[in-house]
Chain A
């Protein structure tokens, strides 16, 4: 039941935001904040539970907590939520960044605030659903659900070019989603024909026997959808526009969370459902990851728009994630997961800064900035820390992620990793360039604007603490993700016997039981 609660709380809060906004202007804000905090506490309690070794050992390759009832039994559709370490980490990240996104909107969003927070909450519960669904039908449902409110967030509260950006975002993701739908249906029918059980349940679909072309095509359908989200070059062009035009909260959610759904999809669905087919594309995927790293970094360097620049750094960072996932070893995949979390925090914060600057300067144009450290030293210092995180400085979580990814992928392919490592240099170039054009080198214009307020500084301090904590003591993260990673790679997720399978598909599993 806890899992349903996790999704329902933001959903209900979102519904309440609309009427509440008539009572008080800031009421939706506080409601969203309270809902997300409550959610975070629930996730934290699950986390605390699974930290004990006994539970972790018992749940090796299984789910820490799960919930299942039938939805449309005639079609084999169920409402099946479950958490393992991987989804738990991402659920925690979702709520953490959700809070940051809500706070960033405090003064930025003044028009139709109730509707704004409602959309924000809907997106977040959609994302939570994506991370928890173990039924492909349900997964697809949430996959689409998180898009629509995001479309509104960009389209209504976005910047100058918002209509174009939101449309582009929607079409790209939708096109990818459709391919995935075809693959889901294909898998559904192939599995049904072979076993007689027509089901969308992930656990039962695992290990479906597929011929080689079947596996490859079905896998590609999923992979393209996730690669669009990730995004992997050359499917990335939606990202720069969407991130740039979205309001700050939208950018934080997009970069911090929506991109992670792509990486999550690879780990949860592509590899376990199609182990052979995904192993076969390992090298091309690693090459795409490396190209993304370098192309994204070079693109970031050439941008003159703060948010567009940060957007392209995401392409670069998520390239590391792709590289790590397809290196197919524990070190690299664990690195990819750390990188996902660290990128969420560091890029989220960079967008937060960009939003704060835009509020003050009414521009994102880097060519107009410069020498701003003297007027806003706190902002400068925070930007510096997250620029350093961006370039993978040891001591930040990004280093742990990138280093593990590269260390692991070296085992899989030395040459490709050596090329990917030059991404560290490219990242340095854009990171120091960003500092140069914003806070250091003065451009002639004397900027005068207020420094970070208490509210903004509070967010910054928490984010810095988080990124440094992951950088210096990633053990809690690595420990939680270790078992799922092993299960994904060894393909030992669940090996239930046929009797248990059919029983499971009929009877609803008791909710909230840690199995």
Chain B
């Protein structure tokens, strides 16, 4: 337990070393510092979790006083409870797997090898601070830290304008959410005089009535932050573009960990959200909207990573639905399983992309299952887990828990459930669309013939381990009808309340049959439309309506265009129109008046005596006239 501080400190130390000396280091050393620091951190996380497990008492480690000003006080202080144990284990473990994979997959970089690991270590350190923070300000530090790393890693190949633009977009859009979150913190501080999470939650529970305006405002503002970070509607547009970064980045940051920070935040502040039923409903609606919007969009993507990005948004949408109905455990369980299978999918996709010399268009792939057997099997397992293939995949257990509780819990509704079921159909359809397009059928371009495979142990081991987890992690928590293991929910119950269910028209077993059927139906549809008779879709897209629909979906429902017209262009237009600073004009005018007056007066100094004489005479006459008239 006393080693808790080392968990975030090790990756951060790795970052500092790599940032200072990485450029002059031999590559193996940079790699071992980069991956080793995260590995050590994972090791300590396991030790700490083992120490935590017997009595499960939350443990706080106070490091130093951060800010102390005018009554506001905030510490650099870490807390470990069941929720953060799960988060820390997933982050360090999946993080280590991906770092290991990256030591090999990034070896083609000319310069920037150590820079990559420096950023990645900084990311892992910040993410760990985020989940271990015992107060909201430190959480905010981690929150912004991961945002910065995300920005840096998306623009890792900085010289391509598209990458740099994607990075800017990601950072700015998430900062919109972050600003809302900051205001949320101001409210909480003003009301409670502290930002310590436990104190805030206790006081909120004691002082705020359910549905009071202040509770709703605070929860809604925090939701703003969560929506931005977790790429949910309406701040979701940055995630597909974020795929411009290297694939390990997409796997770690934009799939497994950072984008689920919003889920963590809401789970962590669950008492606040319970006190604001309106916001809780909003969480569920946001989740349902996103899971449908992104799930349908994923069906029309041709870029392998963009398809996975939409899939990530959609899966996080499920987690939001779970949070919205108060199924906290289900959300965190799905977060964990999703981290495993989505990391697996990205890493296998990475092998495919590397083998095809950076080809990312799935329509130009095909038939790769023989050339890339490891990638094929891993991708297949990942896709099965993503599609929640009944019984054998971990995704089945986690997603079914969400679906069941979205219907059966006290806050559930048939609408949410229906959206989830529709999403499930989409999910298995797009997942296996990817499988069929990439690995089955005929090779669609010459790129597929020029395969360059160089998978070493550091590539294989993470894939195999993640594949096993994507299959087996589900058995930590199974429904009543299938063994009724409740290891996960029992463990996390010290941190998150359980979800009471009420009677429904449908039994859990029936629902499982139904969702299992939808999952298989999706695979079948994918088979029909993308493998058995791909011409049907191709012909459909050639028709005007089909083409329009395809464009609409593949662009993610044109939300980017909308924001461009509503926000980006007006801002740029206003800023550029005024780039000379209109306020300056006023002062220029003052200066001009003076210059004018100067000219007039100069002209009077003509040096002609008769003019002066005339002036004297006129002046005298004027004064005399005034005196005389008085």
Contacts and interface: CB of A to CB of B under 8 A. Distances in A.
A181 to B, nearest CB: 20
Given A236-B583, A374-B159, A475-B68, A403 B165 contact: no
Q: Is the interface of A mostly helix, strand, loop or mixed?
A: helix
Given A334-B69, A478-B67, A406 B182 contact: yes
Interface string B144-176: 110010011001001111011101100110011
A233 B583 CA distance: 9
Given A237-B584, A331-B70, A441 B159 contact: yes
A403 B182 contact: yes
Contacts of A393: 144-145, 148
A417 B183 CA distance: 8
Contacts of B140: 394
A411 B187 CA distance: 9
B614 interface: no
A425 B70 contact: no
Contacts of A237: 581, 583-584, 587
Contact of A424 (B137, B179, B187, B587): B179
B109 interface: no
A414 to B, nearest CB: 8
B8 to A, nearest CB: 13
A425 B581 contact: no
A248 B39 CA distance: 45
A299 B155 contact: no
Nearest to B157: A440
Interface residues of A, number: 63
Interface stretch (B200-208, B430-438, B570-578): B570-578
Contact of B574 (A236, A298, A417, A475): A298
Contact of B69 (A240, A330, A399, A429): A330
B446 interface: no
Interface string B364-381: 000000000000000000
A372 to B, nearest CB: 10
Given A421-B183, A482-B69, A428 B578 contact: no
Interface bin, chain B: 35 or more
B610 interface: no
B12 to A, nearest CB: 10
B578 A335 contact: no
Interface in A455-485: 472-475, 478-479, 482, 485
Interface in A402-441: 403-404, 406-408, 410-411, 414, 417-418, 421-422, 424-425, 428-429, 432-433, 435-436, 439-441
Interface string A270-303: 0000000000000000000000000000110111
A330 B71 contact: yes
A300 B190 CA distance: 32
A395 B578 contact: no
B175 A302 contact: no
Contact of A404 (B72, B172, B574): B72
Interface in A341-384: 371, 373-374, 377, 381, 384
A105 interface: no
B182 A436 contact: no
A37 interface: no
A100 interface: no
Contact of B168 (A332, A399, A408, A433): A433
Contacts of A340: none
A496 interface: no
B194 to A, nearest CB: 12
Interface in B470-503: none
A329 interface: yes
A236 B586 CA distance: 12
B186 A410 contact: yes
A302 B579 contact: yes
B576 to A, nearest CB: 5
Contact of B581 (A240, A407, A422): A240
Contact of B72 (A331, A377, A433, A485): A331
A403 B179 contact: no
Contact of B145 (A395, A422, A473): A395
Contacts of B190: 410-411
User: Which of A418, A432, A479: most chain B CB closer than 10 A?
Assistant: A432
Nearest to B187: A410
Nearest to A299: B581
Contact of B186 (A381, A384, A399, A407): A407
Contacts of B179: 421-422, 424-425
A400 interface: yes
Contact of B155 (A407, A411, A429, A440): A440
A425 B175 contact: yes
Contacts of B144: 393-395, 399
A374 B115 CA distance: 12
B159 A485 contact: no
A442 interface: yes
B19 interface: yes
Contacts of B187: 410
A404 B71 CA distance: 11
Given A394-B140, A394-B144, A417-B186, 10 more contacts: A302-B576, A394-B137, A400-B67, A407-B185, A410-B189, A418-B183, A424-B175, A425-B172, A441-B161, A482-B69
7 contacts: A371-B158, A394-B141, A403-B137, A406-B186, A417-B183, A440-B158, A440-B164
Interface of B: 19, 23, 64-72, 76, 111, 115, 137, 140-141, 144-145, 148, 151-152, 155, 158-161, 163-165, 167-168, 171-172, 175-176, 178-179, 182-183, 185-187, 189-190, 571, 574-576, 578-579, 581, 583-584, 586-587
Give me the 9 closest cross-chain CB pairs, A-B, nearest first. A330-B70, A394-B141, A302-B579, A302-B575, A410-B186, A440-B158, A334-B69, A440-B164, A331-B70
